[in-house]
């Protein structure tokens, strides 16, 4: 029985076997990918060069855009290549690398979204101390933790993937290397990898989602104490895009990683994966547009029953 090191390459399954649809999918996903790159990279550059955008929430938003670009670039180029090429293979080392960055970037995005929720709680519920508490040093420390933690945990998970045994079947029922389809075709050490995948996904989603839920619960409590209906509307509209991104990102990943990797679940997860590797990374520029519109129409930070009309606190 060959082990994982005896496998030199895997065969990836295309999104469709029809030649006409493959060309159509290639054009569509190429446009989507270019939109992701241009939108998110453009936003990162704009945030970096615009003095009026040197605030904690834009600092975190730029990192979220950076992770989304990296996340999409880890999957989409190989998917586009396989749509048109005769061979649909990915090397053994390339598969491991893709798994490593996929898990790492998912974990990083989990906790960046949690940090952004905490930042919004501080801005809305504690506007008078927001500028001093969310200094540049604090923001750098907050954003460093997701990167260090995500890439460290991903290394451990990838080593467990390395321990999987295969018995000749090297066709992955997916358009990129991911844990569920790899576990599904493995014939040894799959049970350990399956349990650790579910446990790690559960722990990290629970921790990060708890921060999000607690932050937004406190925001809702604060908003309900406002005297102005217009003030409540402004707060909810400002947080709406962030909550939408959180719901879709957590929902799709929970759908994929909190189920046993059967043939049916892997097939369904393949369709869901198209959504969170293409649609979700496109939401950040939309989030930026919503925020910029709110700023231009007068940015308000709310506290009790009074409006504090002010510029966003800067980090330096």
pLDDT tens per residue, range 145-196: 999 999 999 999 999 888 888 887 788 888 888 888 888 888 877 888 888 8
From CA 300, how far away is CA 311, in angstroms rounded?
Answer: 8
- The span from the CA of 113 to the CA of 115, in Å, is 5
Token pair of 32, please?
């989507």
The position carrying tokens 């954003």 is 143
High-pLDDT (> 90) share of the chain, %: 25
Q: Which two tokens stand for residue 214?
A: 């607690």
| Structure tokens that stand for 156 in this block | 């451990």
**What class, spelled out in words, does domain 9-292 have in CATH?**
mainly alpha
The rounded distance, in Å, linking the Cα atoms of 134 and 100 is 32
Q: How far apart are CA 188 and CA 257, in angstroms?
A: 20
User: Which of these, 161, 186, 193, lies nearest to 171 by C-alpha position?
Assistant: 186
Q: Which helix (H) or strand (E) holds 309?
A: strand 306-309
Alpha carbon distances (Å) from 125 to 61, 112, 247, 298 = 20, 20, 22, 18
Give the pLDDT confidence score for residue 70 in this predicted structure.
Answer: 93
Report the Cα 244 to chain-centroid distance in Å: 12
pLDDT digits (tens, 9 = 90+) for 227-264: 666 667 667 666 777 777 787 778 777 776 666 666 66
Q: Give the residue among 314, 295, 316 at the shortest CA–CA distance from 56.
A: 314
| CB neighbour class for 159 (10 Å; exposed up to 12, middle 13-18, buried from 19) | exposed
Angstrom distance (rounded) from CA 216 to CA 12: 40
Distance of CA 255 to the CA centre of its chain: 14
Do the beta carbons of residue 33 and residue 278 sit within 8 Å? yes
Decide: 243 and 121 in contact? Cβ < 8 Å: no
Question: Do residues 111 and 162 lie in contact, with contact meaning Cβ atoms separated by under 8 Å?
Answer: no
Q: Would you give the distance in Å from CA 282 to the centre of its chain?
A: 11
Residues 49-94: tens digit of each pLDDT: 988 888 888 899 899 999 999 999 999 999 888 888 888 888 889 9
């Amino acid at each position: 029985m060959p082990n994982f090191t005896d496998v030199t390459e895997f065969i990836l399954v295309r999104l469709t076997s029809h030649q006409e649809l493959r060309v159509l999918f290639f054009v569509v996903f190429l446009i989507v990918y270019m939109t992701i790159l241009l939108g998110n990279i453009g936003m990162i550059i704009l945030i970096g060069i615009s003095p009026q955008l040197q605030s904690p929430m834009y600092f975190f938003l730029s990192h979220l855009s950076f992770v989304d670009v990296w996340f999409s670039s880890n999957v989409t180029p190989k998917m586009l290549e396989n749509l048109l090429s005769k061979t649909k293979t990915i090397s053994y080392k390339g598969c491991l690398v893709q798994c490593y960055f996929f898990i790492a970037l998912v974990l990083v995005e989990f906790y960046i979204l949690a940090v952004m929720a905490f930042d919004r709680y501080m801005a809305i519920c504690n506007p008078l101390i927001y500028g001093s508490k969310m200094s540049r040093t604090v923001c750098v420390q907050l954003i460093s933790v997701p990167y260090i933690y995500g890439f460290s945990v991903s290394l451990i998970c990838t080593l467990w993937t390395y321990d999987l045994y295969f018995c000749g079947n090297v066709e992955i029922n997916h358009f990129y290397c991911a844990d569920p389809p790899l576990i599904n075709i493995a014939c040894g050490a799959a049970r350990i990898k399956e349990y650790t995948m579910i446990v790690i996904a559960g722990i990290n989603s629970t921790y990060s989602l708890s921060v999000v839920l607690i932050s937004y619960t406190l925001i809702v409590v604060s908003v309900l104490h406002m005297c102005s209906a217009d003030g409540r509307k402004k707060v909810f509209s400002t947080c709406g895009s962030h909550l939408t991104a959180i719901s879709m990102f957590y929902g799709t990943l929970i759908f994929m990683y909190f189920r046993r990797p059967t043939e049916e679940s892997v097939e369904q997860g393949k369709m869901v994966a198209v959504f969170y590797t293409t649609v979700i990374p496109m939401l950040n520029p939309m989030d930026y547009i919503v925020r910029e519109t709110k700023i231009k129409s007068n940015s308000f930070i709310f506290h009790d029953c009074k409006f504090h009309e002010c510029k966003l606190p800067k980090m330096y």
